[in-house]
Amino acid sequence: SQQGEEDPQALSIQEGENATMNCSYKTSINNLQWYRQNSGRGLVHLILIRSNEREKHSGRLRVTLDTSKKSSSLLITASRAADTASYFCATVRGSNYKLTFGKGTLLTVNP
């Protein structure tokens, strides 16, 4: 089964607006992590939320986790052109070692 399916696939907003990206998964998880990837570059870790947590904040980022719906959302407030990137959710199941990534949301913030 596929884990970590993000939507929308692409999102285009104006600078200053908020951006919300969603992630759904199919099996129970231990934690869920969000990463950012600038075009053709490495993956930058943004935030980790554990299965017993419902919400976490880090700067302009807010992540929620609803384990009953098997979904998570990433909110970026007051977006900037520099936030333009692909955003991926990745899940960890049980005591496994691996991250299972979704296909990502391409966010474009227009100045």
Partner 1 sequence: EPEVTQTPSHQVTQMGQEVILRCVPISNHLYFYWYRQILGQKVEFLVSFYNNEISEKSEIFDDQFSVERPDGSNFTLKIRSTKLEDSAMYFCASSGGLAAQETQYFGPGTRLLVL
Q: Interface with partner 1 by CB under 8 A: which residues?
A: 30-31, 33, 35, 40-45, 48, 88, 90, 92, 94-104
Take residue 93 and report the two structure tokens written for it.
């199941």
- Pairing assessment for the beta strands 105-110 and 31-37 based on DSSP bridges: unpaired
Is the Cβ of residue 49 or residue 109 nearer to partner 1 in the bound state?
A: 49
In whole angstroms, what is the distance from residue 99 CA to residue 90 CA? 6
User: CB of residue 108 vs partner 1: minimum separation in angstroms?
Assistant: 17
Is the Cβ of residue 31 or residue 64 nearer to partner 1 in the bound state?
A: 31
Please check whether residue 58 is in contact with residue 74, taking contact to mean a CB–CB distance below 8 angstroms.
no
Is the Cβ of residue 45 or residue 54 nearer to partner 1 in the bound state?
A: 45
3-class secondary structure, 101 = strand
User: CB of residue 90 vs partner 1: minimum separation in angstroms?
Assistant: 8
User: CB of residue 87 vs partner 1: minimum separation in angstroms?
Assistant: 12
Take residue 71 and report the two structure tokens written for it.
């979904």
